[in-house]
Structure 1
Amino acid sequence: MPRIFLAYLASWPSFDISTIPAEKLTHICYAFANIDDGRVVLPQSIGQEADAAALERAEQQFIQLQALKQKNPKLKLMISIGGWGADGFSDAALTEQSRAEFAESAVQFMLMRQLDGIDLDWEYPSNAMAGITAREQDRHNFSLLLQAVRQRLDLQSELEPRTVDARYQLSIAAGAGQYYLDGIEVNQVAQACDFINLMTYDFYNGWAKQAGHHANLYRSASDPLGDSADDGVALFRSHGVPAEKLVLGCPMYGRALAGVGAPGLGALGCAGSNTAPSFRQIETELLPSGRFQRYWDATAQAPWLFDGDRFISYEDQESIALKGRYVRQQQLAGAMFWELTEDHQFSLLSALHEAIYS
């Protein structure tokens, strides 16, 4: 049975943490902490943009997260460090001393807030596509950085001491394509981590000029050279990563493109018109408007919406349930999703949970 059912929780939306169905989750990753001068800090505390009120709000969120353990004492709370455009990783990984300082800082951040693990979201080692510092040495240094954090976490687990089930955990968020594997030493990375959160979404993203699925389970017949979640899983497994360390990612938002003509899927759109509506917006505004028709791609096992001009690829209850069954069939570690506040009634969460565990 899959052991990971993980929610990423963005810190910036206004959201009542007490409503989270913690009994259905195994992990919550709070997103994000950032890196400042090699140390892990909350972004609200950095430089001239420091915001005391926002910092206090973030600290209160950690207290609210702790309260969820009354619903589920086995729930693990983790801090996710990084995110798209977050810099500082390459410098932190550069030397033995910088890696040790980063690892100590990350663990102290975790302990101060009574968390259970660390998730590194470096997008991406050896790759500057997000506008961050990147070096060729990142490929090996990422392995060394993870090993430093792993060793510090294991030491802390021994010092307390913690039982096997309660030991501090380490995970990463990983791109689900060859571009990601080209920038890392995948076997060393997998060995250091308890599990790997595959970002099996954004196949068509904010730069897309063509209407395509952004989180399809399988390749679409209309896009035979495109990506899919299944391709991402197969890619990592072909490089020696065991299925029991892979966590399948699901999005709780869509990818929209305007200026799309018939037939919708596969057609060109207007460059720069890309948006990312949340599932909340799709379910409460766009679908009830009556302007959009829902379509189903049987080969991709994914839905899409089209109003004659605007194309939206998204995840719904049907497609996410199929991913839950896939997780079981492939004997993966589990499933995760980005991010919880966009699933306003927890309907996607519930559909995924039922498909995996019922």
Structure 2
Amino acid sequence: MVGYFQQSGTYNNFNVKNLVTSGSAELLTQVNYAFAELQNNQCVSSDTYADYQQALPADETVDGIADSTKAGAFVGNFHQLQELKRRFPELKISISIGGGSANPADFSVVAEPANRKAFVKSCIDMFIKGKFAPGIEQPGIFDGIDIDWEYPASAEDMENLTGLLEEFRSQMDEVRPGLPLSIASSAGSWAYQYIDLEKVQHSLTFFDLMTYDFDGPWNNTTGLVAPLFQAAGDPSTTNNAASAVSAYLAAGVAPEKIVFGVPFYGYEWTAVPDVDHGLFQPGTPVGEGSGYSSIVPLESTFVHYRDPVTQAPWLYDGTNFWTYDDPQSLAYKMLYVRKEKLGGVMAWSLSGDMPNGILLKTVAFGLSEDPR
């Protein structure tokens, strides 16, 4: 069970402490901290204040002790992750490098044979060895590395990504064999066609397969964010999670290397005509999405619908439309994950869950028990 924790959560009242109070920390196998970035062919912090400079008050810390306000004190999210690991020593924490806002061209450059060795060393020195800044050395917080290159886009990128991951595996094994190495990989063939899926799996601990964002605000047509199967009325046979998993398996990826992604968020459209309860209809996207915890309060003002094939829910009020996952659709997906003997489940992102962690708890129950 892998959950992405967004660095920016500290500015939106979602701190590492929330993983404890929601009951999520005890369920998670690994936390992927998102994101670090690439600058000048090196791994760097994308927000040093959030990472290790922001002193948090006692009511926002894992141990209930206010961070030191002394100059140079090691504080912020990284210190809270340190406290989280003290409380949950079996929990693994990976640094996720890149993300959707990162320039894919930067990855193309660092993955080149002439650059990759130094780049990988910079990532390991900073995160695995904890050399965050001059005078700040805190090893033992990060156990692994997650590469989120969105997306390789050429045959050269494909070859270089393979080489980059082999270099990460080699250098990480020199530190300690078996440190977690993963990539956030697309569910769309337009992107994964440039990943040598069979070959890179030998370097990876697992793929964080992003089996979501099949429909969203980049489309002027409504749809389902993360249907498990082809939904009734969806003209595309590949616009679903099971299709992506089948493609990875067909490419030779071992099922236990696939960690199935689920969204803890949803998307909205407006000006949607009242045809088929708004599903697969023209509409105007609203915003860039909201967490499940922001969608739940809206449910009472909408009519609630559910696709019989995928169990995916949506909301519609005659003009406004929301797509998201809920406990029922997640429980259904867990039956599939178990049936296919996949490696586990990944969630983007933990901040979207309810304060009681209901979505993550649904996933955990579904992976450990058969709800039928």
Supply the distance in 1 between the matched residues of 2:334 and 2:347 (Cα, whole angstroms): 12
CA RMSD in angstroms comes to 1.7
Please name the residue that 2:259 is paired with.
Answer: 247
* Offset of residue 282 of structure 1: 0.5
Checking the alignment, whether the CA contact within 8 Å between 2:272 and 2:319 is kept in structure 1 is yes
Check if 1:12 corresponds to 2:8: yes
Check if 1:116 corresponds to 2:178: no
Output the amino acid matched with 2:242: D
SS class of match (2:212): coil
Check if 1:145 corresponds to 2:161: no
* Offset of residue 157 of structure 1: 0.7
* Offset of residue 53 of structure 1: 6.8
Q: Following superposition of structure 1 onto structure 2, how do residues 130-209 of structure 1 map, counting pairs within 5 Å?
A: 136-157=155-176, 167-209=178-220
Check if 1:330 corresponds to 2:340: yes
SS class of match (1:191): coil
Output the amino acid matched with 2:172: L
Please name the residue that 1:131 is paired with.
Answer: none
Please name the residue that 1:316 is paired with.
Answer: 326
Check if 1:104 corresponds to 2:121: yes
SS class of match (2:220): coil
Structure 1, unaligned runs of 5 or more: 46-51, 127-134, 159-166
Please name the residue that 1:90 is paired with.
Answer: 108
Checking the alignment, whether the CA contact within 8 Å between 2:216 and 2:223 is kept in structure 1 is no
Checking the alignment, whether the CA contact within 8 Å between 1:257 and 1:275 is kept in structure 2 is no
Checking the alignment, whether the CA contact within 8 Å between 1:294 and 1:306 is kept in structure 2 is yes
Q: Deviations over 1:327-358 (max 9, x none)?
A: 11110000010000111321101111111113
Checking the alignment, whether the CA contact within 8 Å between 2:8 and 2:50 is kept in structure 1 is no
Check if 1:228 corresponds to 2:224: no
Please name the residue that 2:134 is paired with.
Answer: none
Change over 3 Å in CA distance of 1:54–1:245 after alignment to 2: closer
Please name the residue that 1:163 is paired with.
Answer: none
Supply the distance in 1 between the matched residues of 2:307 and 2:50 (Cα, whole angstroms): 46
Q: TM-score, normalised by structure 2?
A: 0.84
Checking the alignment, whether the CA contact within 8 Å between 1:211 and 1:269 is kept in structure 2 is yes
Q: Deviations over 1:114-135 (max 9, x none)?
A: 2110000000011xxxxxxxx5
Supply the distance in 2 between the matched residues of 1:320 and 1:33 (Cα, whole angstroms): 29
Checking the alignment, whether the CA contact within 8 Å between 1:33 and 1:43 is kept in structure 2 is yes
Supply the distance in 2 between the matched residues of 1:30 and 1:65 (Cα, whole angstroms): 9
Please name the residue that 1:36 is paired with.
Answer: 39
Aligned-pair identity in percent equals: 35
SS class of match (1:247): strand
Q: Deviations over 1:208-243 (max 9, x none)?
A: 111111101111021141511111110100111010
Supply the distance in 2 between the matched residues of 1:79 and 1:89 (Cα, whole angstroms): 16
Q: TM-score, normalised by structure 1?
A: 0.87
Check if 1:57 corresponds to 2:73: no
